[in-house]
Amino acid sequence: MPAIVTENLVKRFGELTAVDGLNIEVRPGELFAFLGPNGAGKTTTIHMLCTLLRPTAGTARVADHDCVKEAWVVRRAIGLVFQESTLDKDLTVYENLWFTSCLYNLSPRLATERIDEILQLLELSDRKNHMTRQLSGGMRRRLDIARGLLHRPRILFLDEPTIGLDPQARRQIWQFLDTLRRTEETTLFVTTHYMEEAEVCDRVGIIDRGSLVALGTPDELKQVFKGDVVQLRSDRMEELAQAIRAQFHLSPQLTDRGLLLEVMDGEAFLPQLIRRCGDQITGINIQRPSLNEVFLQLTGREFKP
Amino acid sequence: MIPLRPIRSIVTRELKRFFRQRGRLLSSLARPLLWLFIVGIGINRIVETPPGISYLQFLFPGVVGMVVLFSSIHSALSTVYDREFGVMRLILVAPISRLTIVGGKVASGSFLSLLQAAILLCLAPLIGIPLGVQQILLLTVYILLTAVAITGVGLLLASRIDSLENFAGVMNFVVFPMFFLSGGLYPVKLLPAGLQWVIYANPLAYGIDLFKHALLPGSPGMALGPDFALTSNIGMLLLFSTITITAATALFDKEARLVRLATR
């Protein structure tokens, strides 16, 4: 039984269609990334799956229950870490967790046990009695995640869990999510607009303008590219593009990041390129295709967070 | 059925926040004192009241009402704060009903009102209003009845306010008029008929009238005594509570709240 299934899920806000006929299926225990630029419909989708928004059309089932008709049951099975912190800054770390445990009607004994456990897991034990406002951004984020996990949900939704954090704090959060997946068997549904974060997930759904444009493992997605991506800089981009078209029968794409070429064997290609068009090139970069290129290929646009 | 733990936790949270925001208790105590000892004493000098009751004494139930009014509205409007700072989203996604949320807010608003009113009531003997045990018990019930109704009004307002910026507007266009048109500053029966009708629609008027019943016992029927019958006060407050709490629960619409967030 899938953890999450949506069928032709649609959400309109007046004129605006935020989610436009979404079909996804997330397997139990999976780390699923929902990738897309801002305004693509990621948060709206999460809010529908978490019973906070009512779909305009279509259905969504989470933990095998309908998100509209059985919202109550769904809520017990899920945890949600919102994009913006939902911590109470007038309460301490411990009190924030205690308050959440009460909302989920955990018994005091169980609550104490779980809170201690989760504080340890997230390395927040020594901050237990600190006021939340005194925590750093990364710690607050961890506390937000701790809250989402307190009632041991089967599915945890995380909406941009690393937004606004420094690289070290971001790494820490991802390490933690990885541990969680291995030890608790929690299904994780994560939205992000950091490509490199999506790379470590089991499967990635790319959403653009409210619909799914691709779905698969990061490797599968990258298979639309057969070779390497060569990125070129030049003072005369158009001329260079023309020269390459004529000499190599390739079709370079002109983007914000320069001229992009897809070639089978980048390392062998470079010497030839330099021999023939070297005087027109001011910079070269060669890379394995990333999800960035996948996005470009699929939508014809640069990925802009 | 409403589970007790979630409700209690909502109340506990409100109480903790109340005591941690130090200025709040201070300002909620300063306001009635200003009214009582500056406005009250000033007016006391220029008005002539019937024998046996001073203007200051007449004003006292009104000022108790004012404390209940500000405290209840403030508690109710904390839902707007919760919404702005995200805590409401956490509460909405938890498996608890809207009635639980509204119930928790009403309970904490009423309790905080009672607490602040109790502090003010300690001053009653100072201005020549002795308090007996029976009076204190009655006042406790009356204050809670009033606080529930006013918190209900506040929650209804809160469900229509989308940001803290509108807070000031509520104070100017709802809270102050509610106080001025409550019978707390002047007896209802001395006002022009048109204004009297406005007062009938104000739950605070029934609350303050109840306080007059308890605090100014020797004076029913007198110009400065209570304006309405005890039972009609209680009936009206219960009616207001039922209507506002039912409406606030129904209007506690998650969707509208989140739209701003979701489409950004």
- The C-alpha of A72 sits at a distance from chain B's nearest C-alpha, in angstroms, of 6
pLDDT, one tens digit per residue, over B90-135 is: 888 888 888 888 999 999 999 999 999 999 999 999 988 989 999 9
The pLDDT value given to residue B252: 76
From B8, B87, B263, residue closest to A88, measured CB to CB: B87
CB pair distance less than 8 Å for B6 and A102: yes
Interchain CB contact of B264 with A (< 8 Å): yes
Distance CA B94, CA A102 (A): 10
Q: Which of B16, B25, B87 to mutate to test the interface with A (most CBs of A within 10 A)?
A: B87
Interchain CB contact of B128 with A (< 8 Å): no
The pLDDT value given to residue B105: 92
Q: How far is CA B179 from CA A265, B11, B150, B196, B218, in A?
A: 81, 26, 12, 14, 24
Q: Chain B partners of A54 at a C-beta cutoff of 8 Å?
A: 255
pLDDT, one tens digit per residue, over A114-130 is: 999 889 888 889 999 99
pLDDT band at B264 (very low <50, low <70, confident <90, very high): very low
Distance CA A133, CA B94 (A): 23
Mean pLDDT of B257-264: 45
3-state secondary structure of B222: coil
Average pLDDT, 10 consecutive residues per value, chain A (305 residues) = 93 90 93 87 92 92 92 92 87 93 92 92 88 89 90 92 84 85 87 82 90 88 76 86 84 81 82 84 82 74 61
Distance CA A19, CA A9 (A): 7
pLDDT at B210 over 60: yes
From A82, A89, A99, residue closest to B9, measured CB to CB: A99
Q: Which of B8, B10, B90 to mutate to test the interface with A (most CBs of A within 10 A)?
A: B90
pLDDT band at B173 (very low <50, low <70, confident <90, very high): confident
**Under the phi-then-psi rule, with left for phi > 0, alpha for psi from -120 to 50, and beta for the rest, what region is A210?**
left
Residue with tokens 């996804």: A24
3-state secondary structure of B236: helix
3-state secondary structure of A125: helix
Return the number of CB contacts < 8 Å for A and B.
Answer: 87
Q: Select from A19, A21, A49, A52 the least CA-distant residue to A36.
A: A19
Interchain CB contact of B90 with A (< 8 Å): yes
Distance CA B178, CA B181 (A): 5
From B89, B90, B263, residue closest to A16, measured CB to CB: B263
What whole-number percentage of chain B has pLDDT above 90? 45
Q: Which of A67, A88, A145, A156 to mutate to test the interface with B (most CBs of B within 10 A)?
A: A88
User: Lowest-pLDDT range, A8-17, A233-242, B73-82, B156-165?
Assistant: B156-165
pLDDT, one tens digit per residue, over B19-71 is: 888 788 888 889 999 999 899 989 988 888 888 888 999 999 999 999 999 99
Q: Select from A209, A185, A194, A210 the least CA-distant residue to A290.
A: A194
pLDDT band at B257 (very low <50, low <70, confident <90, very high): low
Distance CA A141, CA A162 (A): 8
CB pair distance less than 8 Å for A89 and B85: yes
Q: Chain A partners of B20 at a C-beta cutoff of 8 Å?
A: 90
pLDDT, one tens digit per residue, over B12-21 is: 999 998 888 8
From A44, A51, A103, residue closest to B9, measured CB to CB: A103
In DSSP terms, A288 is beta-bridged to none
pLDDT at B164 over 80: no
The pLDDT value given to residue A300: 66
CB pair distance less than 8 Å for B255 and A53: yes
Q: Which residue of B has its CA nearest to A99?
A: B9
Q: Is the dihedral of CA A84, A85, A86, A89 positive or negative?
A: negative
CB pair distance less than 8 Å for A53 and B262: yes
Interchain CB contact of B45 with A (< 8 Å): no
Q: Chain A partners of B99 at a C-beta cutoff of 8 Å?
A: none
pTM, two decimals, is: 0.80
Q: Chain A partners of B91 at a C-beta cutoff of 8 Å?
A: 103
pLDDT, one tens digit per residue, over A57-73 is: 999 999 999 999 998 89
Interchain CB contact of B22 with A (< 8 Å): no
- The C-alpha of A100 sits at a distance from chain B's nearest C-alpha, in angstroms, of 8
Q: Which of A12, A83, A95, A103 to mutate to test the interface with B (most CBs of B within 10 A)?
A: A103
Q: Which of B16, B89, B108 to mutate to test the interface with A (most CBs of A within 10 A)?
A: B89
Q: Chain B partners of A100 at a C-beta cutoff of 8 Å?
A: 90, 94
Q: Chain A partners of B1 at a C-beta cutoff of 8 Å?
A: none
Q: Which residue of B has its CA nearest to A98?
A: B9
* DSSP string covering chain A: --SEEEEEEEEEETTEEEEEEE--EE-TT-EEEEE--TTSSHHHHHHHHTTSS--SEEEEEETTEETTTTHHHHHHHEEEE-SS----TTSBHHHHHHHHHHHTT--HHHHHHHHHHHHHHTT-GGGTTSBGGGS-HHHHHHHHHHHHHTT--SEEEEESTTTT--HHHHHHHHHHHHHHHHHH--EEEEEES-HHHHTTSSEEEEEETTEEEEEE-HHHHHTT--SEEEEEE-SSHHHHHHHHHHHH----EEETTEEEEEES-HHHHHHHHHHHHGGG-SEEEEE---HHHHHHHHHSS----
Q: Which residue of B has its CA nearest to A106?
A: B5
Please provide the average confidence, as pLDDT, over all residues in chain B. 87
Interchain CB contact of B95 with A (< 8 Å): yes
pLDDT at B258 over 70: no
The pLDDT value given to residue B259: 43
CB pair distance less than 8 Å for A104 and B95: yes
